[in-house]
Structure 1
Amino acid sequence: MCKSYDEMKCKVTACCDPIRVLVTGAAGQIAYSLLYSIAKGDVFGKDQPIILLLLDISPMLPVLDGVVMELQDCALPLLKEVVPTDKEEVAFKDLDAAILVGSMPRKEGMERKDLLKANVSIFKSQGAALDKYAKKTVKVLVVGNPANTNCLIAAKSAPSIPKENFSCLTRLDHNRAASQVAMRVGVPTDNVKNVIIWGNHSSTQYPDVHHAKVTVSGTEMDVFDAVKDDEWLKGDFISTVQQRGGAVIKARKLSSAMSAAKAICDHMRDIWFGTPEGHFVSMGVYSNGKPYSVPDDLIYSFPVVIKDKAWKIVTGLQINDFSREKMDATATELVEERDTAVSFLGA
């Protein structure tokens, strides 16, 4: 005898307690592309109920109400509750996952140090809120730019939460790099694995394919062998990935939203469920000064593997002089950002 729809729906959604997931900047365009995927189970699992906490600044609350109405109108069985708010004590309470999308964008005429100062204020406050209200096991993904340094400030402002619980988004750059290789070779993107984004989510990032593989006609080979154009891989390929965000803005008159949301989903899903055997992905994570001679006390993008919700930097990769120079250049930028931002922490 067939079960009723209500019985099947109950079986799907009653297997476990809801998790509490925060998205900040929730009235913005990235969140608008992101929230549906989270709420329908693309990130945390098809049988995982969700309570969504949506945080934005007070003037955006009317817009946020419209987002809530749309989520309700999607009639998603996994979405148990949506809480729109402008209050940190509400938004950060008992969180299992926090996706910090909102940040101060750079405005015309604003110097970089002014941008850093404004964002230090935001992420110092949100880090303190995580420390005070969230679960100590919370997984925190920082998206708002400058993402690496904002992530570091949030982590420093939440001393009771392990720094390993914090990461920043470089998966969008990782996806861009894989896509560029796939298009060049003429294969699907999932035929490309183990590209690396080193360093900062900025124009100094280093998209590295020296350790990447591509499958062509059933045969896995090194990317350099498949592409057969070293000049492109060491030139236009790198600059295209580095400048892709600007190219999207120039064409669309708006920043990347759909692709950023997809990358956020990829990043958080890998944290929750792990990376496939033999694959690594790029994430901005805390450096202790050991792997690849990257300076201590930075959030720096490395290749990582993930298991049981814990990341581990892939070690032992051979770094040639070409790569070393580019890895050091992006580290230098991050050290300067960190030192400037930390100088504002006590302000």
Structure 2
Amino acid sequence: MCSARTSMLIVCLPCQPIILVLLDITPMLPVLDGVVMELQDCALPLLREVIPTDKVEVGFKDLDAAILVGSMPRKEGMERKDLLNANVAIFKTQGEALEKYAKKTVKVLVVGNPANTNCLIASKSAPSIPKENFSCLTRLDHNRARSQVAMRVGVPSDSVKNVIIWGNHSSTQYPDVHHAIVNHHGKEMSGFDAVNDESWLKGDFITTVQQRGAAVIKARKLSSAMSAAKAICDHMRDIWFGTPDGEWVSMGVYSTGNSYGVPNDLMYSFPVMIKNKTWKVVDGLSINDFSRGKMDATAAELVDERDTALTFLGA
């Protein structure tokens, strides 16, 4: 688990100094010391202090932001219910620590997989912290979708805006470009018009984004590292400083059952706009039958995960 205790400086400034608190299990403290040395050697101008610890009361105390990266990975022969059982225990403990030690205004980002359901368990285990303060990482998928479209069209990735990742951070997620905008050499176009290949957008594009994590593992024998770290930074920066006018990003956030027919009590990835550290789902987007089917399928998976996890939580 990595957490960030921001300094008591004006947070509206574009340059936010931070104190970084790194929590790990006791046997990993020597490795953590190596991480601290590397952070020091980066000479990062906004990093004021790094505190490595194996003590929960130190790691979670008075946090403004918490990034929960540690989870039990799925191992060969492990059934999904076994994975959920192990992670419920982890994120119940971390949620209880947030409840006991962190500020009630803490912004919590869950990265460890299965991220959506782990995030829900952490939230339920910290009942005095608003559910809106919890989110899970689908920004990596969002960035992957932007990049795939940009490469297909032949433009920089920042020329692609307003893609959407719906649902679960899993192979059922739905990367959607129906509302995307592409700046194609000075001319703004819809994502579909810019790509001009509907079969690719409804086929290989979706499966490439859905399976990109597995492809990275197959290629480098390790899970995503640099791209995941960049996505975490993107996610937290947007929470702190907001999204540009007219643009949205993808985040796994708490569903109240009032947006796009997504069931209540799930952490579901929606398009969101952020202002004053508060996210709001972008409502009112048109949803065609193709998208509806994909969105419902990933919601069904999340409902199943949630219901299984809650049996282990004792809820």
TM-score (norm 1): 0.87
1:206 to 2:206 alignment? no
1:139 to 2:104 alignment? no
Report the secondary structure of 1:107's partner residue: coil
1:304 to 2:292 alignment? no
Letter in 1 for 2:291: S
Larger radius of gyration: 1
Query: 1:277/1:257 Cα in 2 relative to 1: closer, same or farther (>3 Å)?
Result: same
Find the counterpart in structure 1 of residue 140 from structure 2. Answer: 172
Report the secondary structure of 2:313's partner residue: coil
Letter in 2 for 1:147: A
Mapped to 2, the partners of 1:73 and 1:219 lie a distance apart of: 43
Mapped to 2, the partners of 1:73 and 1:278 lie a distance apart of: 38
Find the counterpart in structure 2 of residue 218 from structure 1. Answer: 186
Mapped to 2, the partners of 1:165 and 1:280 lie a distance apart of: 18
CA contact (8 A) 1:174 1:207 kept: yes
1:88 to 2:67 alignment? no
How do 1:255-274 residues align onto structure 2 when only pairs under 5 Å count?
Answer: 255-274=223-242
Q: 1:296 offset after TM fit, Å?
A: 0.3
How do 1:262-341 residues align onto structure 2 when only pairs under 5 Å count?
Answer: 262-341=230-309
- For residue 126 of structure 1, the aligned residue among 77, 91, 94 is 94
CA contact (8 A) 1:167 1:286 kept: yes
5+ residue gaps, structure 1, are: 1-21, 25-34
Report the secondary structure of 2:49's partner residue: strand
- For residue 152 of structure 2, the aligned residue among 160, 166, 184 is 184
Letter in 2 for 1:160: S
TM-score (norm 2): 0.95
Letter in 2 for 1:97: A
Mapped to 2, the partners of 1:69 and 1:225 lie a distance apart of: 49
Find the counterpart in structure 2 of residue 155 from structure 1. Answer: 123
Q: 1:115 offset after TM fit, Å?
A: 0.6
Q: How many residues align?
A: 311
Find the counterpart in structure 2 of residue 242 from structure 1. Answer: 210
CA contact (8 A) 1:101 1:144 kept: yes
CA contact (8 A) 1:44 1:269 kept: no
1:99 to 2:67 alignment? yes
Q: 1:69 offset after TM fit, Å?
A: 2.0
Deviation digits for residues 95-150 of structure 1, max 9, x if unmatched? 00001111111111111111111110110000011011001110000000000000
Letter in 2 for 1:23: C
Mapped to 2, the partners of 1:276 and 1:162 lie a distance apart of: 25
Q: 1:230 offset after TM fit, Å?
A: 0.5
Report the secondary structure of 1:53's partner residue: strand
Find the counterpart in structure 2 of residue 197 from structure 1. Answer: 165
Mapped to 1, the partners of 2:175 and 2:116 lie a distance apart of: 16
Letter in 2 for 1:326: K
Q: 1:51 offset after TM fit, Å?
A: 1.2
CA contact (8 A) 2:240 2:277 kept: yes
Letter in 1 for 2:209: V
Q: 1:45 offset after TM fit, Å?
A: 6.2
Stretch moving more, 45-54 or 297-306: 45-54
Find the counterpart in structure 2 of residue 252 from structure 1. Answer: 220
Mapped to 2, the partners of 1:220 and 1:168 lie a distance apart of: 31
CA contact (8 A) 2:14 2:241 kept: no
Runs of 4+ in 1 over 4 A off after TM superposition: 43-46
What's the % identity of the aligned pairs?
82
Q: 1:49 offset after TM fit, Å?
A: 2.5
